[in-house]
Chain A
Amino acid sequence: GENVEQHPSTLSVQEGDSAVIKCTYSDSASNYFPWYKQELGKRPQLIIDIRSNVGEKKDQRIAVTLNKTAKHFSLHITETQPEDSAVYFCAASPGSARQLTFGSGTQLTVLP
């Protein structure tokens, strides 16, 4: 089955700096890569996703890049703000929610 590894497990950045979280996956059949954000005590929520026919996708201050050859994808957050502090999960799927495999999560802390 699919195996998704996520690094780092914790990340602290100064407000205004950029943050990068990386994930690798094992199953070449995976073609859908979402990122979920979970604030303390709250539900995970989808913040951005990318499909394997696209190399990069941006949404305001967040972007995701995908390298299919190397089987890795990354989340980039620019101009970080305190409200970006949360746990971020990457996931991979061959195309449906029922086959999503999650990474172990990254605790991002944005220091004021």
Chain B
Amino acid sequence: DAGVIQSPRHEVTEMGQEVTLRCKPISGHDYLFWYRQTMMRGLELLIYFNNNVPIDDSGMPEDRFSAKMPNASFSTLKIQPSEPRDSAVYFCASSPQGNSNEKLFFGSGTQLSVL
């Protein structure tokens, strides 16, 4: 298993541009999470899905952020328009159902820089 796959690894964009981050969870995992990591705020949960359905998006900072999961093997996090304060590492993670559903498997992250 290749693990959770994220793309791109690095994204540099200008303020006001749209940014789309992508994630492929581990096959068979029913939960998918989007986290943001910054020095100031650490690891913050933005949103999570269960069986492709968004369950809790209370961590999404603003309406500029949106996330979708059109199928069990793909999710996107979109920022439109992007701002310099959105610069961070964005991690996608997945976890299985059942007894191990508390274990998170992280992707390699996307380093986003908004200039």
Chains A and B come from one and the same complex: yes
A46–B102 Cα distance when bound, in Å, is: 11
B102 touches A95 (CB 8 A): yes
For B31, the chain A residues whose CB sits under 8 A away are 97-98
Q: Is B109 an interface residue (CB 8 A)?
A: yes
**A-side binding surface: helix, strand, loop or mixed?**
mixed
| B55 (CB) vs chain A CBs: closest residue | A98
Per-residue 0/1 for B11-55: is the Cβ within 8 Å of any A Cβ (1 yes, 0 no)?
000000000000000000001010000000011010010100001
A96 touches B101 (CB 8 A): yes
Q: What total count of A-B pairs have CB within 8 Å?
A: 50
Count residues on chain B whose CB falls below 8 Å from chain A CBs. Answer: 20
Q: Is A25 an interface residue (CB 8 A)?
A: no
A34 touches B108 (CB 8 A): no
A45 touches B101 (CB 8 A): no
A44–B31 Cα distance when bound, in Å, is: 17
For A34, the chain B residues whose CB sits under 8 A away are 102-104
